[in-house]
Amino acid sequence: ELWLKDLGRAICHLILSSKPSSASTTMKLLSLIIYNWKDDNSIEVLACEELSSFSFFHRGPIREHIKFHSRLVVSRTQLGRRSSIQFEQNLGMCHSWVHPQGIGAAVLIDAEYPLRVAFTLLSESVRIFLEANRGKWEDVQKDTLLLCPEIEQLFIKFQDPTEADKLTKIERDLEEVKGTVMQSMDDLLKRGESLDQLMAKSKDLTNTSVQFYRTAKKNNQCCKLY
């Protein structure tokens, strides 16, 4: 299936049409979402986002497609593993980390954001969440919001990866990044799956966002993520 290319075109079409004329080339960290990991459909328990560079009217569909990507990637990442999913045509990356205790997290970033900084954010966020919410997330059966101000502040600090590097003294040969599974989104599909099927079943996408995808796919648009 070529659904990754199709979805990338859809997302980039929306971002292109909503990008302000004075858009900055600063490396972008768009989202951090934490889940109670399930291999069939992980459950969202915390979300941070930075979509202020996009117009108000486009943030809804962008948010929904980010959630769709992040939930799928985390659900298809094995316990105790890290994954890096690269979108075609240098559109960006989705990195995930699933802790052996069953908390998973995903960040969506542009292609310029450093890998090791992204994984440090994932590791620190999961560690903080497990310490702050012990006994609160284990039995959650539907998407909810478990507040954690420390993670929200961490997300803000990591908007600037250079400053985050200084704050956390990230080692350039960060051991935990070694052995990360690098994949395309196509690699996550199960036999016989298609994008349309996944979208139809997804609770992250409204009819508006699905229609946007179909329109962008028809228009065959392509651009960078930022």
pLDDT in tens, 89-143: 556 789 999 999 999 999 999 888 888 899 999 999 999 999 999 999 999 999 9
pLDDT score of 57: 79
pLDDT of residue 124: 94
Residue with tokens 């908390």: 103
The mean pLDDT value of the chain amounts to 77
pTM recorded for the entire structure: 0.76
Nearest-angstrom CA–CA distance, 65 and 10: 9
Report pLDDT for 5.
Answer: 47
pLDDT at 150: 97
**pLDDT tens-digit readout, 29-84:** 999 999 999 988 999 999 999 988 878 877 888 888 889 889 999 999 999 999 98
Q: CB-based burial of residue 209 (10 Å sphere; 0-12 exposed, 13-18 middle, 19+ buried)?
A: buried
> What per-residue confidence (pLDDT) applies to 7?
47
